[in-house]
Amino acid sequence: ISQIVADDPVDRLVTVDQKPIGRTPRSNLATYTGLFDAVRAAFAATPAARSRGFGAGRFSFNVAGGRCETCLGEGSVTVELLFLPGSYALC
Ligand SMILES: [Zn+2]
């Protein structure tokens, strides 16, 4: 990591390694660092979202009402196979 100078526009730097970052498979770099909070707020502030009464939670893949209820926001579903090991299918 290089030295950050006083007038550098970057005020926060997050280093990432390969360790698991959350308790659920829905956790990702954007949710863990809080970046996705800003994305949800930006979506909720659009005129279309405001006219429909959608809050920031509507744009979360962890919350009912915002997530896909088929895969519960995981992006894949488990496919149980009778005589073979289970598999995952993209939702
Ligand atoms: Zn889904």
**Mean pLDDT in order along the chain per 10 residues (91 residues):** 65 76 74 86 95 91 85 87 88 91
Name the residue among 50, 59, 64, 68 with its Cα closest to residue 31: 59
Distance 65 CA to ligand 1 centre (A): 12
d(CA 75, CA 27): 12
The predicted pLDDT at position 1 comes to 47
Note the pLDDT tens digit of each residue in 40-63: 999 999 999 999 999 998 988 888
Distance 45 CA to ligand 1 centre (A): 24
Cβ contacts of 61 within 8 Å, gap of 6 or more: 26, 67, 68, 73
Distance 83 CA to ligand 1 centre (A): 25
Map residue 37 onto helix, strand or coil.
helix
The predicted pLDDT at position 75 comes to 86
Tokens standing for 22? 């959350």
- The kind and range of the H/E element at 90 are strand 87-90
**How many C-beta atoms surround the C-beta of residue 60 within 10 A?**
20
Question: Domains of the chain, with CATH numbers?
Answer: 1-91 (1.20.1580.10)
Share the mean pLDDT of the chain.
Answer: 83
Distance 70 CA to ligand 1 centre (A): 5
Distance 54 CA to ligand 1 centre (A): 20
